[in-house]
Structure 1
């Protein structure tokens, strides 16, 4: 369905949505309105910060907590391209997976064991930067890649969506005031276990999130050959031989 500025149904729907700003089901109503124009299969509203993500609302499930999403909140979020992007540079607006995913993202254990099972195929995210290096995010996941037309449509209504997200914060003060759980100290555990340097830990995280050797080299201002040397040292210190084994150690560090 194409959306025009004179679309009466859209304006009526936004009017009704504004009336629910102070209601518990606001986020559900917003997600449903977006799905009328751009179909999606899942959604979640998160607050990204230096601590663990805080969940404002999520797509209703079939009953009981989603174990994959719980794994995400426990520590897998550290490998989420959207989370990494929000921490490296706060961005206001609409982000696509293609905008933030590293070159080798689809070959990572994170993608194979979490993303493609939980998010499935594609993800887009509305980002609202806040004070304190925090970002309010509304993410939509889909079984099929979002089309250029759908992305353009979301871009058209982006000002409405972001304004509503900001206005909703006035009614989320209890959650905003609640201390977030501290980020998992996996770096410290791997550092003590294998005596990894700060640079090696950084490269390990970039590897796990899908960065290719060339991408990591560009990001850190070093040569691709130096990245290879660091990777060799990381594997030797940790007594492993593959990135899958490194991912397994990463998971163990979240649980210990």
Structure 2
């Protein structure tokens, strides 16, 4: 068997990533192997939790030590609308996923897409997900300012067995009790949606949202059309419409934009009117 010089280099790079499995530079080494063959603009390794915000295992550094404010918003609450986060606990299987694999039918019409994804990731995203247990999944995200082409997706699919195997081995060395980069913004408890929506409906005096209404509200915010929600929940289209009518009435709102505004209440920097021009977020960062 004859090898080209780039074949030998590739195997040497994988060896370097394996050698770093128990050290602090594993994720950077793994990224370096992939970027020799695939073009991408950002990366982050996360541990998704079913009942809480993600923990950041490692992420691409920003120039001059800047803080990615949009990413802090993601960690605080917006992760709940991330199709990769939702797929991690719905499919419950390790594997390689493209945005096309997991995005709902109306994803590009959502406030999440328009006000976060399109501004922060810009073009496309893929994930390597490793199931830890019923409540946790490790995800390794590669974001791109443009759409991945067929060759790149084919290569990533080809690489996925050894990438996932390395991630599985890495689990024993991750300190999830003290993960660097875990967001302080997540401490506000905004992920407790029943309590949050309950507080909002209590103020309106129109009765609390039911568990099913909260489920419909979150699916709608995530980008599922009414017909897709009906199919997903095995209920009729008219029942979904009725749920939406009750949701809007109880919350005292009249649009999806208003629902999104209630879902995520801005702090000092997120999405506040007039604030977007003051936030510097390098394009393509997660």
**TM-score normalised to structure 1 length:** 0.91
Q: Which segment drifts farther, 203-212 or 140-149?
A: 140-149
1:114 aligns with 2:116: yes
- Alignment-derived partner of residue 241 in structure 2: 228
- Quote how far apart the aligned CAs of 1:88 are: 1.5
- Alignment-derived partner of residue 273 in structure 2: none
- Alignment-derived partner of residue 218 in structure 1: 231
Q: Which segment drifts farther, 86-95 or 99-108?
A: 86-95
- Alignment-derived partner of residue 29 in structure 1: 29
Flag the 1:163–1:144 CA change in 2: closer, same or farther, 3 A: same
- Alignment-derived partner of residue 205 in structure 1: 218
- Alignment-derived partner of residue 144 in structure 2: 142
- Alignment-derived partner of residue 41 in structure 2: 41
Contact 1:186 1:253 in 2 (8 A): no
- Alignment-derived partner of residue 82 in structure 2: 80
Aligned equivalents of 2:55 and 2:154: distance in 1?
Answer: 29
CA RMSD of aligned residues (A): 2.1
Aligned equivalents of 1:152 and 1:125: distance in 2?
Answer: 14
Aligned equivalents of 2:225 and 2:16: distance in 1?
Answer: 47
Aligned equivalents of 2:190 and 2:171: distance in 1?
Answer: 23
The superposition leaves residues 79-115 of structure 1 with CA deviations (integer Å, 9 ceiling, x where unpaired) of: 0001011122212110010011001100100001101
- Quote how far apart the aligned CAs of 1:183 are: 6.8
Provide runs of 4+ in structure 1 moved above 3 Å.
176-183
Point out where structure 2 has 5 or more consecutive residues left out of the alignment: 202-207, 269-286
SS in 1 for 2:45: strand
The superposition leaves residues 107-128 of structure 1 with CA deviations (integer Å, 9 ceiling, x where unpaired) of: 1000011011111111100011
- Alignment-derived partner of residue 93 in structure 2: 91
Count of matched residue positions in the alignment of Structure 1 and Structure 2? 250
Which of 181, 190, 194 is 2:197 aligned to? 190
SS in 2 for 1:252: coil
Contact 1:95 1:126 in 2 (8 A): yes
Which of 110, 123, 126 is 2:125 aligned to? 123
Q: Which segment drifts farther, 200-209 or 177-186?
A: 177-186
Structure showing greater relative contact order (alpha-carbon pairs closer than 8 Å, 6 or more residues apart): 2
Q: Which segment drifts farther, 102-111 or 46-55?
A: 46-55
Flag the 1:176–1:163 CA change in 2: closer, same or farther, 3 A: farther
Aligned equivalents of 2:133 and 2:87: distance in 1?
Answer: 17
Flag the 1:183–1:160 CA change in 2: closer, same or farther, 3 A: farther
SS in 2 for 1:135: strand
Q: Which segment drifts farther, 244-253 or 52-61?
A: 244-253
The superposition leaves residues 178-235 of structure 1 with CA deviations (integer Å, 9 ceiling, x where unpaired) of: 7996772132121242211111110000000000011000011111111111111111
1:61 aligns with 2:74: no
SS in 2 for 1:60: coil
Aligned equivalents of 1:183 and 1:238: distance in 2?
Answer: 17
Contact 2:48 2:136 in 1 (8 A): yes
Contact 2:16 2:29 in 1 (8 A): no
Flag the 1:253–1:123 CA change in 2: closer, same or farther, 3 A: same
- Quote how far apart the aligned CAs of 1:129 are: 0.6
